[in-house]
C-alpha cells in the first residue's frame, strides 16, 4: 500500500485545480465531494511533488507530466 499523499485534479469553473489529501482517505470520498464528473485525473504525490499512479476506485490515472507541472507551479517548486 502506498503511503504517500493522494491527489485529484479537477475542473473548478473551467480552471484546472487540485486537492491533496492523506493516503488514509479514499479517492472516492473526495471525488464524491468534488463531483465525479469534474475529475480529470487522480493518483499519488511524492515529496518532490511528482504525481504518479492511479485511482482504481475513480477509474482515473495520473497524467504524470501535466499533473506534476500543475502542482509544482502552485507550490513554486524548482528542481
What is the residue extent of each domain of the chain? 6-75
How far apart, in whole angstroms, are the C-alpha atoms of residue 51 and residue 33? 21
**What's the count of helices (H) and strands (E) in the chain, helices before strands?**
2, 6
Angstrom distances, CA of residue 33 to CA of 21, 37, 39, 47, 79 = 13, 11, 11, 25, 33
Predicted pLDDT of residue 57 = 95
Q: How confident is the model over 5-41, as pLDDT tens digits?
A: 999 999 998 899 999 999 999 999 999 999 999 999 9
Is 7 within 8 Å of 67 (Cβ atoms)? yes
Predicted pLDDT of residue 16 = 95
3-state secondary structure of 73: helix
pTM confidence score:
0.94
Amino acid at each position: 500500500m502506498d503511503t504517500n499523499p493522494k491527489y485529484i485534479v479537477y475542473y473548478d469553473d473551467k480552471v484546472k485545480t487540485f486537492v491533496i489529501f492523506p493516503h488514509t482517505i479514499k479517492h472516492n470520498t473526495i471525488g464524491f465531494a468534488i463531483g465525479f464528473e469534474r475529475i480529470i485525473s487522480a493518483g499519488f504525490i511524492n515529496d518532490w511533488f511528482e504525481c504518479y499512479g492511479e485511482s482504481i476506485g475513480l477509474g482515473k490515472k495520473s497524467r504524470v507530466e501535466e499533473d506534476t507541472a500543475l502542482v509544482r507551479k502552485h507550490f513554486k517548486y524548482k528542481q
